[in-house]
Amino acid sequence: SLAAVLPLVSAYPITGNDVNCRAGPGTDSKVVKTYAKGTDVKVTCQANGESISGSTIWDKTSDNCYVSDFYVKTGSSGMVVGECSGGSKPPSGGSSYNGKISRKEILQRANYWVSRHIPYSMSKTYPDPQGRRYRTDCSGFVSMALHANSPGYSTVSLPEIAKPISWSDIKPGDLVGTLGPGTGGAAGHVTLFKSFTDKTKKKYNTLECRGSAGCVAHVREVGWKDGKFTSKPYRYIRVTD
């Protein structure tokens, strides 16, 4: 008789105390389960996510949740099983490189990275849905979402393609950041505006790449500051309303 063929699932011990297993590969995702030290977990696939003590790999367990690979003794600093499938599908919008683009497609392109929890880096790159590579920092992420120059504008140069607007005029897919002279490197930051959190319009929902969190959905106060700079809203010159 033919033996049943089962999927390959490997088990590895947890090395930390009370290690949380989360709904997604990042600490902003809700806790689904907590593992005691020494617990053997079955790893079904792995994904990139928030950096934890230098490791951006997260292990999806048979409990259908993610635990940082830093706390799992796999014997390797790389992936030991297949990469998890999933993430949002590539946007179906029809924009061309440096061409006109809809607000819907800007947000879809942004979510393409956010749903994959791409790790933040000021030097590394990751492909957009068409395979063109962009820096995985805040301005590279925004450039990718806008389908603009690769590997991406900087916070200093983004005003070349984005004009200042008022908070009362802001719409989904617009930019909010500390941009222009003096904001290079870690001195500036930029986000995509998604929506206000409520009718008071004091906070807004963002899509952005930031520090150890990587590319995520986040909430910020209107007029947040970065050092001596106060954030302001901008609009991409090629967005179609």
Say what the pTM is. 0.69
User: Which long-range contacts (C-beta less than 8 Å, at least 24 apart) are formed by 78-85?
Assistant: 79/46, 80/10, 80/43, 80/46, 81/8, 81/9, 81/10, 81/43, 81/44, 81/45, 81/46, 82/45, 82/46, 83/45, 83/46, 83/47, 84/44, 84/45, 84/46, 84/47, 84/60, 85/45
Q: How confident is the model at residue 1 (pLDDT cuts 50, 70, 90)?
A: very low
Q: How confident is the model at residue 86 (pLDDT cuts 50, 70, 90)?
A: low
| pLDDT at 87 exceeding the cut of 70 | no
The predicted structure's pLDDT at residue 29: 80
Arithmetic mean of pLDDT, 94-98: 90
| pLDDT at 3 exceeding the cut of 50 | no
The predicted structure's pLDDT at residue 78: 81
| pLDDT at 234 exceeding the cut of 70 | yes
Task: Give the separation between CA 232 and CA 21, rounded to whole angstroms.
Answer: 37
| pLDDT at 88 exceeding the cut of 80 | no
The predicted structure's pLDDT at residue 40: 95
| pLDDT at 113 exceeding the cut of 80 | yes
Report which of residues 214 and 50 the model is more confident about.
214
Neighbours of 226 (CB within 10 A): 16
Mapped onto helix, strand or coil, the DSSP state of residue 142 is helix
DSSP state of 181: T
The predicted structure's pLDDT at residue 83: 81
